[in-house]
Every structure is written in structure tokens, then in C-alpha cells.
A = this chain, B = another copy of it.
Amino acid sequence: MAIVSGAIKPGEILGNEIESSEQLQVSRSAYREAVRMLAAKGLVESRPKTGTQVSPQRRWNLLDPEVLAWFFEAGAPSPAFVRDLFELRMVVEPAAAALAAERRTPEDLARMRRALLEMEKHGVANEDGRTADREFHDAVIEATYNAPLVSLASSIGAAVRWTTIFKQRHGPLARDPMPEHWRVFDAIAAGGAEPARAAMRDLVAQALEDTRPEIER
């Protein structure tokens, strides 16, 4: 979290085991295993003699769910970052809806319907409501049956969840988001790729609209 928040800048050397002996009271093994995990996510790179240094941000694996989570847990992410995540949603989700419209099984539709009913029942203001929202978006992406896209779902889901919280924190929701959700569902159920794409685009666009004041583009 110190890395993703920028407290430790890229290029900076991660103390030669100093971390292990002073601040965190852990042994070298535990420290090393932790560093290996960070290296696997592209956050750091360690070489003999040089030490373990933080990689430039472009090498980070930003789509990794854990890395994304650290971004949010480390405090309020920058508005630019939230904007970027919305752009990613705007790119991926309409396309996913279009593909899902062509490939969804009846079971997929049932799952989406369940999620939306759950969402109506609890309301998006509730934690359960947000979970249901996320479940809906997950169901749509998984209905594409495209493995790489599906692995994006967890990242998108994290963005969905957090941006919803973000919106709430700054005043109540502008308006009921359910009609847009149902339009997406109907379009996917009908099987038309382009209507589904358009409906999902509207949904994400509205979410972006509600967040716009905070993003101060």
C-alpha cells in the first residue's frame, strides 16, 4: 500500500532487509516471500547487488484484483485513476453485453434476473444491494464465455463496487439506476447484440454522469 499510494516512489530501493529487522518484526523468509508476491504482480523487481527497487508504474499489474484493492485501501485514489477505471468499464462492459446477448444460456439469464431482483429488494444504498449489483455485472461478463474477459470481471467488479460507495459518500444517488439495469437485461434476453451494447453503454454513462462532479475532468 505504501507503494501504490506513492509513498515509496518508483526507482526507490526497498531497504536491504532493513524492513524485516526494524519496522515489521518478521524473518527473512516471510519478508522474502512477501517480496516475491509483489514481484509477481510487477510492483517491484529485485536483482543482486542493486537491491529490490520499485518498478515504474507502467510495469505494475493494475488489473490484478489485489493490486486494485490496495489502491482503494491505501486511501482515496486520485480522481484521474477513478476516471480511468470508468473508461475501462466503458470499453469492456458494452462489448461484453453484446457478446453475452449472443451466447447467454437460460441459466445465465436466470442468474442476472436473480441479481436484479435482489438489488431491487435491498436497494443500492445497502451493502447487500451493492453486492447484488456486482453480481449482475459479473453474470453479464461471464455469459460471454470468454476466459480472458472473465478474468477482467473481478477488476471491473472492484471498480463497480468502489465507485458506488464513492458516489454515496458524496450525497444520495441522483436517481434510481434500476430502469437502466432492466433495459440491459431485456436486451440481453432478447438476444440482440447491438441493443445490448447500447443499453450497457447508457448504464455506464449514467454512472459516470453521477460521478462526474467528483472527477472534475
The chain A residues found within 8 Å of chain B, CB to CB, are: 29, 32-33, 36-37, 39-41, 57-58, 60-64, 66, 81, 84-85, 87-88, 90-92, 95-96, 99, 142, 144, 146-152, 155
The answer to whether B40 and A148 touch across the interface, beta carbons within 8 angstroms, is: no
Please judge, given known A-B contacts A64-B61, A151-B62, whether A40 and B29 are in contact too, CB under 8 Å: no
- Identical chains in the assembly: 2
Chain B min CB distance to A146 (Å): 5
Known contacts A33-B32, A63-B63; A149/B40 CB under 8 A:
no
The residue that A151 contacts in the complex, of B58, B91, B147, with Cβ under 8 A, is B58
Q: List 22 A-B contacts (CB under 8 A).
A: A36-B36, A36-B40, A37-B37, A37-B39, A37-B40, A57-B147, A58-B142, A58-B150, A62-B148, A62-B151, A63-B148, A81-B147, A84-B146, A85-B148, A87-B99, A87-B144, A88-B148, A88-B149, A91-B91, A91-B92, A91-B149, A148-B155
Flag if B87 contacts A91 (CB, 8 Å): no
Give Cα A88 to B85, complex, Å. Answer: 17
**Distance A62 CA – B150 CA, assembled complex (angstroms):** 9
- B36 to A148, Cβ gap below 8 A? no
What distance in Å separates the Cβ of A164 from its nearest Cβ neighbour in chain B?
A: 18
- Whether A84 contacts B147 in the complex (CB less than 8 A), given A32-B33, A33-B32, A91-B95, comes out as yes
A88 to B96, CA, bound (A): 10
Give CA–CA (A150, B95) in the complex, Å.
19
Instruction: Contact check, A151 vs B60: say whether CB atoms are below 8 A apart.
Output: yes
Residues from chain B with a CB closer than 8 A to the CB of A88 are 146, 148-149
Closest B residue to A98 by CB, please name it: B91
Q: In the complex, which of the residues B85, B90, B148 contacts A84, with contact meaning CB atoms closer than 8 Å?
A: B148
Min Cβ gap A52→B in Å is 13
CA distance A96 to B40 in the complex (A): 26
A200 to B150, CA, bound (A): 23
